[in-house]
Amino acid sequence: MRVLGIETSCDDTGIALFDTGAGLLAHRLFSQTELHLDYGGVVPELASRDHIRKALPLIRRVMQEAGTRPDQVNGIAYTTGPGLAGALLVGAALGRSLAYSWNVPCVGIHHMEGHLLSPMLEPDPPAFPFTALLVSGGHTLLADVQALGCYTILGESVDDAVGEAFDKTAKLLGLGYPGGPAIAKAARAGNPEKFSFPRPMTERRKTQGAHPGLDFSFSGLKTAVVTAVQHQRLTPEFIADIAASFEEAAVDVLVIKCEWALERTGAKQLVVAGGVSANQKLRQRLQRLSEKLAVRVCFPRPEFCTDNGAMIAYAGCMRLAAGQREPLAFGARARWDLEEIGAVKA
């Protein structure tokens, strides 16, 4: 089965062709970073308009690079949520229209399921079941993954996602957008022990609540950074120390929660995906955790950590192969709980 994947949930236009026999045939990504740079974050209306301009040319390019004609495509997958409503509707309208025109089935994909499955694109992919840490600009969550569509949330952020905390800290320090790579770059010259920032919700392991001990909070860490920066001159050395100390605290929280989640599930595999999974300090710390607990940790390659069409094409292949189909009507779900995705036969 050969599936065209379309990702337009936020500020990246991602297009890819995935074949169940030949693997990933071609993929292209257009980033809107420069478009939103002056605003310090994504402007939804600008993002939607740019998807309209870029999606079709990218599809033509990917089809040409893969040597694929429309009559050789067996299905189309597009991100239907969660994300920016306008941006999602661009991909959904385009995907549904192409499917109708090419007379092939289509399927709407949950954006976070795409991230969760992105390590499956690697040469030695993980196998179900596993525990997953999903860390992106808008989401931070731990999930118990039993099979395709069988996801149980173990913990999630009660306020800012870790990616948002990176973005806001970078903006505060004048490092620009997106914040993750900017903070990591500045942190390389800093002292991670210079500032003692809090590790929110890790002081003690809670035993009660919807997600005992496994929820996240980054607002307190962000506030601590704001307090440390107030009335200070932002010299390069000061910025580097703040960035390094912030990164150390954020990574500590993620690693501690992963260890607790693995102890709870008993899983022997940990999948880590989403934009923040590209952070090298996080990767190094989780590799050490995997050795400590004798579990395998799996990451997507860096280019597939951020939003991309390949993960949507792959997830679409799995769901279309299992018989899932979308009706002629289409829509977008700006908010969509991962546990609400329907399970399908693998």
Residue 17, domain CATH: 3.30.420.40
d(CA 221, CA 180): 15
Which pLDDT value is given to residue 209? Answer: 62
The answer to whether 148 touches 138, Cβ cutoff 8 Å, is no
Burial of 200 (0-12, 13-18, 19+ CB in 10 A): buried
Which pLDDT value is given to residue 279? Answer: 97
Q: What is the DSSP string of 20-53?
A: TTTEEEEEEEEE-HHHHGGGTS--HHHHHHHHHH
Which pLDDT value is given to residue 56? Answer: 97
Q: Which residues pair with 23 in a beta bridge?
A: 19
d(CA 6, CA 198): 39
- Do 74 and 190 share a domain, yes or no? no
**pTM of the complete model:** 0.94
Which pLDDT value is given to residue 39? Answer: 87
How many other CB atoms sit within 10 Å of the CB of residue 333? 18
**Does the residue 122 lie in any domain?**
no
Q: Which domain holds residue 315?
A: 2-116+305-340
- Do 154 and 295 share a domain, yes or no? yes
- Do 284 and 327 share a domain, yes or no? no
- Do 103 and 221 share a domain, yes or no? no
- Do 94 and 234 share a domain, yes or no? no
DSSP annotation of 10? S
Q: What is the pLDDT along the chain (346 residues), one digit of tens a residue?
A: 999 999 999 999 999 999 999 999 999 999 999 999 888 889 999 999 999 999 999 999 999 999 999 999 999 999 999 999 999 999 999 999 999 999 999 999 999 999 999 999 999 999 999 999 999 878 899 999 999 999 999 999 999 899 999 999 999 999 988 899 999 999 999 999 999 999 999 986 766 566 678 999 999 999 999 999 998 999 999 999 999 999 999 999 999 999 999 999 999 999 999 999 999 999 999 999 999 999 999 999 999 999 999 999 999 999 999 999 999 999 999 999 999 998 876 5
- Do 139 and 239 share a domain, yes or no? yes
- Do 45 and 15 share a domain, yes or no? yes
**Does the residue 346 lie in any domain?**
no
- Do 181 and 214 share a domain, yes or no? yes
How many other CB atoms sit within 10 Å of the CB of residue 309? 35
**Does the residue 148 lie in any domain?**
yes
d(CA 264, CA 154): 9
Which pLDDT value is given to residue 138? Answer: 83
**Does the residue 205 lie in any domain?**
yes
How many other CB atoms sit within 10 Å of the CB of residue 97? 13
Which pLDDT value is given to residue 206? Answer: 65
